[in-house]
Amino acid sequence: MLIGAIVTGLASGLDLPISLTMLSHDAPDDETSSKLVASTQIFWQVGVFASYGAAFIVSKMAGATGARIVFACLAVFALFIWAWRTFSQKFKAFHEAGEQRRLAREKSADGPAKVSIKSVLFGEHKKMYLQMFICIIVFYCCWNILANTFGQFQTFMLVQAHASQTFATGAGLVLNFISLFAAMAFAKAAGSTYRNKFFVVGMIIQFLGMFSLVVLRHDLWPIVIAIGVTSIGSNIAGEAIYKVWTQEAFPVEVRSSIQGFIGGFSRFLCGVFAFVTPALVVQSVIKKTMLGFSIMILVAFAFGFAMTRLEKKYHIGQ
C-alpha cells in the first residue's frame, strides 16, 4: 500500500500542474483560461463522487476484496485516459494552436525573454510575484490541511461517531453530490467579476462549518451537516480558486513549476499531518481540534483576501 501510494502520489502530483498549465496555454483568451481551469474542480469533484460511490457499493464485501475491485477500476480508467490524451488528434491540434499564439505574443513583444522561477520571483518584478506567491502558498497550505482532514478522514470521523461503514460511505456520496453543484457554480463565475464574492462567501461558509463542531454536540448528524457545509464552501473557495490564482498570477513558462512546488509542499504537510490526524478527530478531543481548524480557516481567509487585493492592484484576472 505504501509503494502504491508513493507511485500514484508522484504521478498525480507531476500531472496536475502540467495539465493545468496546458489548459491555460491552449486557451484562446484569459477569460476562457480562468473558466477552463476552474472547471477542472467539477471533474475533480466527480472523481471524488465516483470514488465514494464505488466504496459504497463494495462496503459490505469481506476483507480487502472491495478495495481491490475499486483500485482495479481506477487502474483501467487511468490507462484509458492516458491513451486518449496521448493519441488524440484533437488535443494535438489544441496544443499546436496554443503554441502558435504563444509565439505570436513573443514576436509582438520584440522577441522572447528568458523566463525562469528565479527571474520571476527575484527579478525586476519580484515584489509583485513574491507577494502573490506568499499569499497563495499560505492560503493553500492552511486550506489543504483542513480539506485533507475532512476528505481523507471523513469516513473515519463518521465511524467514530458510531456510524456504520455503509452509512459513512453513503453520506460521503450524498455530500459530494451536493458539493458538485457548488463547484459548477464557481466554474461559471471564475472568469467574471463575481469570483471574489464567491471566495468571501465560501470562506465564511467553511468557517461556520468548522466552528459549528466547536459549539455543538459531536453526535452523528451535527458532524454530517458540518462536513456537508464545509464541503460546499470548500468548492467555491478552495482548490479551484487556488488553481485560477496560480495560472493567472505567473508567466506561462513557470506556472507548472510554481504550482507543482506549492501543491507538492502542501501535500507533504498534509502527509505529515495525517500521522496525527486520527488522534485529533476522535470524540474526546475533536472540539479542540475544530477550534484550531477554525483559526486556520481565518488565516487562510486573510491571505486569500490579500491575494484578491493584489489581483486588483496589479490588474490580474480583471
Supply angle C-alpha 236, 181, 309, rounded to 5. Answer: 15
Residue ranges of domains in the chain: 2-108+120-313
CA nearest neighbour of 195 among 19, 37, 18, 17: 37
Per-residue pLDDT of the chain (318 residues; tens, 9 = 90+): 889 888 888 888 788 888 888 887 888 887 788 788 878 878 887 888 888 788 888 888 888 888 899 899 989 999 999 999 999 999 899 889 888 887 887 777 655 567 788 889 998 889 999 999 999 999 999 999 988 887 777 778 888 888 887 787 788 778 877 888 888 888 888 877 788 899 999 999 999 999 998 998 778 888 888 888 898 899 889 988 998 898 889 987 888 788 888 988 888 888 888 888 888 888 788 888 889 999 999 999 999 999 999 999 998 865
Q: 3-state secondary structure string, 252-311?
A: HHHHHHHHHHHHHHHHHHHHHHHCCHHHHCCCCCHHHHHHHHHHHHHHHHHHHHHHHHHH
Distance, in Å, from the CA atom of 230 to the CA atom of 153, rounded to the nearest integer, reads 14
pLDDT at 307: 96
**Which residue in this structure is represented by grid cell 476552474?**
38
113: which DSSP letter?
P
Give me 252's grid cell: 506561462
Does an H or E element contain 86, and which? helix 65-87
Give me 156's grid cell: 473515519
- Kindly list the distances between the CA atom of residue 17 and the CA atoms of 29, 149, 214, in Å, as whole numbers in the listed order: 19, 22, 35
Half-sphere exposure of 275 (CA within 13 A, CB side): 4
Largest CA distance in the chain: 66
Specify the amino acid at residue 253.
E
pLDDT at 219: 82
The fold of the 2-108+120-313 domain, in CATH, is Growth Hormone; Chain: A; (1.20.1250)
